[in-house]
Each structure stands twice: as structure tokens, then as C-alpha cells.
């Protein structure tokens, strides 16, 4: 039962993320280098 709930939640989250990515479009790709370099700077 717990695995089924987890899979359902994961599926719903994936759908939500894909919808948001489609809505935002190229903004994600443009901002990715900034966040990647910021993450590496913290290491």
C-alpha cells in the first residue's frame, strides 16, 4: 500500500513538474547555469 501511494505521488509530481516546465519554457534553461555554478560553489 505504501509503495502504491508513493508511486501515485511520484506520478502526480512528475506531471506537475512537466506542466510547470512547459509553462515556463526557456526560462529554466537560461537560469540553469547560474544555479549549477551556485551549487558547485557551495561544495
5-34 tens-digit pLDDT = 999 999 999 999 999 988 888 888 888 899
pTM above 0.85, yes or no: no
- Give the residue extent of every domain in the chain: 2-42
Interatomic CA distance for residues 24 and 10, integer angstroms? 21
Q: Is 43 a residue whose pLDDT tops 90?
A: no
Task: Note the pLDDT of residue 35.
Answer: 92
Please tell me what DSSP assigns to residue 1.
-
pLDDT bin (cut points 50, 70, 90) of residue 36 is: very high
Please tell me what DSSP assigns to residue 30.
H
- 40 or 43, greater pLDDT: 40
Amino acid at each position: 500500500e505504501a509503495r502504491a501511494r508513493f508511486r501515485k505521488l511520484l506520478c502526480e509530481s512528475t506531471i506537475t513538474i512537466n506542466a510547470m516546465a512547459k509553462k515556463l519554457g526557456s526560462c529554466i534553461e537560461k537560469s540553469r547555469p547560474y544555479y549549477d555554478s551556485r551549487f558547485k560553489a557551495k561544495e
